[in-house]
Structure 1
């Protein structure tokens, strides 16, 4: 297992994967790769039209060398398998091979674990091929228990290593405890709403929550023999 290389996957739509990915990329001084981007708008000068890579790069002022190009840029903001069909594109698994990097890497998936990349290939199948640990991003509030526990079960049924969860949104008085106890998973961090959302605000949260240390511990735990 490559140290400090991980996959960021959400438990649902709009749970804040890209913001959490930015948090990790900045804190780990990592490369960022979004292999499949749906809803990409070429030629749009606004950063919001450039997909998650563009938004993350703008937020962090990331050097171009640390931003890896997408394998697929699909125009429609729908599931990758359908977006590819609309664009007349066939998603080839060989183009989704991990980049050959020795240092930290954050791979952000397109959607959740069971999102189809093709009509015969789910995201979780590709994650299993990558053989990197997964960090799940979940919303902090209502609905997170079901989505998170189902995602944890799906990963474990395929023996995919799970680093832990990051909860995104306003702090909840009970959900972290419930997820930890019922899911048997570590809550690595809780990222509150940041207004304004800046790289400085992310850096402060990273420091206050000792995220570097927590991630080191999580990677070390996965490396221990069963």
Structure 2
């Protein structure tokens, strides 16, 4: 399957904006299989509003009201998140020569159930991973633990997208992880469709190079 999975080193590091930029850059389809929290605009709604062609966005498989870890939100509603159903739906969404950009929830070890974590879903989807990172106190540790887990699980990694303000930590993380830097998406006061289009154009050459490596 031609799946690209967007994961983060944690929650709130810029996965959704990075997903929009990657989707725009590749002319891909976007899908977030599990959405937890429906009070505000969902990630799917946000991405749809930011793409030049919103028809590339696919609806979630699971929509959970509680803004919490997916396994907790699902349990609250008496729902079991089924890995095989997510994988089957991903297959149904596949189109020839059109990548499917899949946005995860939180980081690799976010649980979907008692025995299934986000990294297990990535492997079942046979996806290549883009890691989204942001600089904060402790982020080096979170970056390298994420990289280590992916290596141990033999999951192919496309590279890093850094979000927010530039920090020299980026160079160290690239060197230590041995995963390439794709781009850095800068912090702005308001993310617009025009901003996403511009960032997609900027990151496209490096993204295509990393995907073909």
Considering the TM-score relative to the shorter chain, is it more than 0.5? yes
Q: Of 36, 39, 49, which aligns to 1:38?
A: 36
Aligned equivalent of 2:197, options 182, 200, 203: 203
Are 1:183 and 2:177 an aligned pair? yes
Aligned partner of residue 112 in structure 2, secondary structure: strand
Verify: 1:140 aligned to 2:135, yes or no.
yes
TM-score, normalised via structure 2 length: 0.92
User: 1:54-65, aligned counterparts within 5 Å?
Assistant: 54-60=45-51, 62-63=53-54, 65=55
Q: CA deviation at 1:182?
A: 1.1
Question: What are structure 1's unaligned runs of at least 5 residues?
Answer: 42-48, 222-226
Partner of 1:16: 14
Q: Does 1:104 align with 2:99?
A: yes
> What is the RMSD of the two structures over their aligned residues, measured on CA atoms?
1.5
1:137 Cα shift?
Answer: 0.3
Structure 2 SS opposite 1:116: coil
- SS of aligned partner of 1:12: coil
The answer on whether the counterparts of 2:5 and 2:102 sit within 8 Å (CA) in structure 1 is yes
| TM-score normalised by L of structure 1 | 0.87
| Counterpart selection for 2:42 from 43, 51, 59 | 51
Q: For 1:116 and 1:66, how far apart are their aligned partners in 2?
A: 27
Q: Distance in 1 between matches of 2:105 and 2:143?
A: 17
| Count of residues in Structure 1 that have an aligned counterpart in Structure 2 | 208
Work out the CA distance in 2 between the residues paired with 1:95 and 1:191: 33
In structure 2, the residue matched to 1:224 is: none
Q: Secondary structure at the match of 1:179?
A: helix
Deviations 1:150-183 (A, max 9, x none): 00000000100000111100111x1111001111
Asked whether the 8 Å contact 1:141–1:170 carries over to 2, the reply is no
In the alignment, which residue of structure 2 is the partner of 1:73? 63
Question: d(CA) in 2 for partners of 1:162 and 1:194?
Answer: 27
Unpaired runs of at least 5, structure 2: none
1:196 CA displacement: 2.9
Whole-angstrom distance in 2 between the partners of 1:37 and 1:170: 27
**Structure-1 residue corresponding to 2:186:** 192
Q: Distance in 2 between matches of 1:196 and 1:79?
A: 27
Larger radius of gyration: 1
